[in-house]
Chain A
Amino acid sequence: MWFEQVLFFLAAIGALAGALGVVVLRNPFYSVLALVAHLVALAVLFLLLHAEFLAAAQVVVYAGAVMVLYIFVVAYIGGSDEPLRPEGGAVAVFGPIFAAAVGIELCIAFIASGLDALDTTGADVGAGFGSPEAIGQMLLTRFLVPFEAASYLLLVAAVGAVVLARRRRGLEA
């Protein structure tokens, strides 16, 4: 039990640190790396919640593929250390304040909610809970339509990316 709690706190701190790093770090490359760290911490949290398959998917797909894609683009664009002009404006001042307000609001909602189950560690689940077998079962029976729709969405995204990034003849190099 205490192992679980320590692990939770370590993963939580890692996640928060990664998140803050994404927002605060000036070089976009470092922000991507911070997000990778955040994703790994989140995968640990998923494991703690008995979502093994999802943790694996997170690390392999999210941190492995999507973030690599990100790094490719950052390398191509060549994100600079300093922006052209200082980040600023009224939105940049009020935005974080309102975001903090929303966050606190959500916390209040969770903590003061009437759901008693939130105070427990969760329902009793069997050994196969969150295993690839169970997820696959769900995907192919109960959630077939969302599954197919998601794959269709991936196709559309792939086509869209190709369209967006292709060269127009004679326009630019």
Chain B
Amino acid sequence: MDITWYLVLSAFIFAIGAAGVMSRRNPLVVLLCLELMLNAGNLALIAFSRMHGGEAGQVFALIVMVIAACEVVIGLGIIVAMYRRRLPIDVDEMSELRG
């Protein structure tokens, strides 16, 4: 398949992830949609790496995976802390940065 197909697929997955971030209120699901966007980026990186024939893109994608894991860890830690303090698990309720 042409590389273009992979890239178009990556764009679609990215768009779906972005739509999910903006339309869901449960922070767990928002983090999952963030994962979608990251994976879309990974796919694009690997597609380009295949296009160029160098493995730099794949290494980059590996590092992105590492970062995604870290981010998930911290994000889930925050959500667990929220749950522990009996705060509502809802991104719209967390609006103390207002103003």
Binding site for B on A (CB under 8 A): 4-5, 8, 12, 15-16, 19-20, 22-23, 28, 31-32, 35, 38-39, 42, 45-46, 48-51, 53-54, 57-58, 61-62, 65-66, 69-70, 73-74, 76-77, 79, 83-84, 87, 89, 91-92, 95-96, 98-100, 102-104, 106-107, 110-111, 117-125, 129-130, 134-135, 138-139, 142-143, 146-147, 150, 153-154, 156-158, 160-161, 164-165, 172
Binding site for A on B (CB under 8 A): 1-9, 11-26, 28-29, 32-33, 35-36, 39, 42-43, 46-47, 49-53, 55-56, 58-59, 61-63, 65-74, 76-81, 83-86, 88-90, 92
CA distance A31 to B13 in the complex (A): 15
Instruction: Supply 4 further A-B pairs (C-beta < 8 A) apart from A92-B22, A124-B53, A172-B85.
Output: A45-B9, A91-B22, A110-B4, A121-B1
The answer to whether A165 touches B65 (Cβ under 8 A) is: no
**Which residues of A lie under 8 Å from residue B70 when comparing CB positions?**
153-154, 156-157
**Which residues of B lie under 8 Å from residue A65 when comparing CB positions?**
69
Given contacts A28-B28, A91-B22, contact A42 B59 (CB under 8 A): no
The answer to whether B11 touches A28 (Cβ under 8 A) is: no
**Which residues of A lie under 8 Å from residue B23 when comparing CB positions?**
23, 87, 91-92, 95-96
Report which of B33, B62, B77 forms a contact with A160, defined as CB distance below 8 A.
Answer: B77
Main secondary structure of the interface of B (DSSP, over half): helix
CA distance A173 to B81 in the complex (A): 12
Main secondary structure of the interface of A (DSSP, over half): helix
Report which of B17, B19, B32 forms a contact with A32, defined as CB distance below 8 A.
Answer: B32
The answer to whether B20 touches A135 (Cβ under 8 A) is: no
The answer to whether A123 touches B52 (Cβ under 8 A) is: yes
The answer to whether A158 touches B73 (Cβ under 8 A) is: yes
Report which of B8, B33, B52, B81 forms a contact with A110, defined as CB distance below 8 A.
Answer: B8
CB nearest neighbor in A for B16 = A19
